[in-house]
Amino acid sequence: MNSPTQTTPSSSNKGKNENQLVNLAFNIIIPTLILMKLSGDDYLGTKLAIVIALSFPLIYGLKDFLTQRKFNFFSILGIISILLTGGISLLELDPAYIAIKEAAVPALFGIATIISLKTPYPLVKTFLYNDKILQTDRIALALKEKNNSQQFEKCLANASWLVAGSFFLSSVLNYVLATILITSQPGTVEFNEQLGKMTALSFPVIAIPAMLVLMGALFYLFRGITKLTGLTLEDVIHHHEKKKD
């Protein structure tokens, strides 16, 4: 199961709150309740409960993918992760595969972030340094004027390693959490309940520490921008005025 995706900073405050609530509901709350409360034979049964529970984050991920209307490696990998969880559960494979899968997905994110440093499109620009958050054109102009463009590329590279670190941290925590919680064989009510518990704990145990590391990368990047451009954050962050009624 995947932790909630982040809303974009360009959304309004109301939109952010609504999106995050729907995000949590589809990715954590509803699947957890289904797996933990409706897996018994008197309700949905183990296999149907798995299918219905996993359909919520799958639908959310597909909706997000269609809304963005562009190929996104991370959205696709997230959808594949959900399908793998369903496949392992329905085929009643060894529960160890769940732990391996849970660790592999964020690890692939981290590896992709590092590999992207060797391309013209480092993924840190997708996560942190993008024109939805920052006035990148203004920053680029200020860097050029101060002859600091090359130094800023080093700053971006360091931020990329911090972002990758957040994914590797998530990978380790995913594996530990899955190994501790998933002890029953797929196809049993106990397995579904354990999967539901893992889903419920994924946000406080995994997402929050990873987000803290990601925030550290963001502050590091902001500090580099202000130091190398001579501009303040007020100068470079996009300001979105609230619409008047």
Tens-place pLDDT, residues 82-134: 889 899 999 989 999 999 999 998 999 899 889 988 887 787 877 778 777 78
Q: Which helix (H) or strand (E) holds 175?
A: helix 149-181
Q: Are 57 and 1 in contact (CB under 8 A)?
A: yes
Q: Give domain status of residue 29, yes or no.
A: yes
Q: Give domain status of residue 224, yes or no.
A: yes
Q: What is the pLDDT of residues 57-73, one digit of tens each?
A: 888 878 877 776 655 56
Q: Give domain status of residue 164, yes or no.
A: yes
Percent of the chain with pLDDT over 70: 86
Q: What is the dihedral of CA 17, 20, 25, 29, to 10 degrees?
A: -110
Q: Give domain status of residue 5, yes or no.
A: no
Question: How far is 3 from 25, CA to CA, in rounded Å?
Answer: 11
pLDDT higher at 75 or 233: 233
> What's the predicted TM-score (pTM) here?
0.78
Q: Give domain status of residue 245, yes or no.
A: no
Q: Give domain status of residue 148, yes or no.
A: yes
| Buried/exposed 106-134: b ≥16 CB within 10 Å, e otherwise | bbbbbeebbebbeeeebbbbebbbeeebb
Domains identified in the chain, total number: 1
Q: Give domain status of residue 242, yes or no.
A: no
Q: Give domain status of residue 153, yes or no.
A: yes
Question: How far is 215 from 210, CA to CA, in rounded Å?
Answer: 9
Q: By residue range, what is the domain housing residue 127?
A: 13-236
Predicted confidence band of residue 14 (pLDDT cuts 50, 70, 90): very low
Residue 83: its pLDDT value, please?
A: 87
Residue 74: its pLDDT value, please?
A: 64
What is the dihedral sign for C-alpha 117, 163, 28, 7?
A: negative
Contacts of 199 (CB under 8 A, 6+ apart): 1, 28, 31, 32, 35
Residue 11: its pLDDT value, please?
A: 39
User: What backbone torsions phi and psi does residue 92 show, to the nearest 5 degrees?
Assistant: 55, 45
Whether 176 shows a pLDDT value over 90: the answer reads: yes
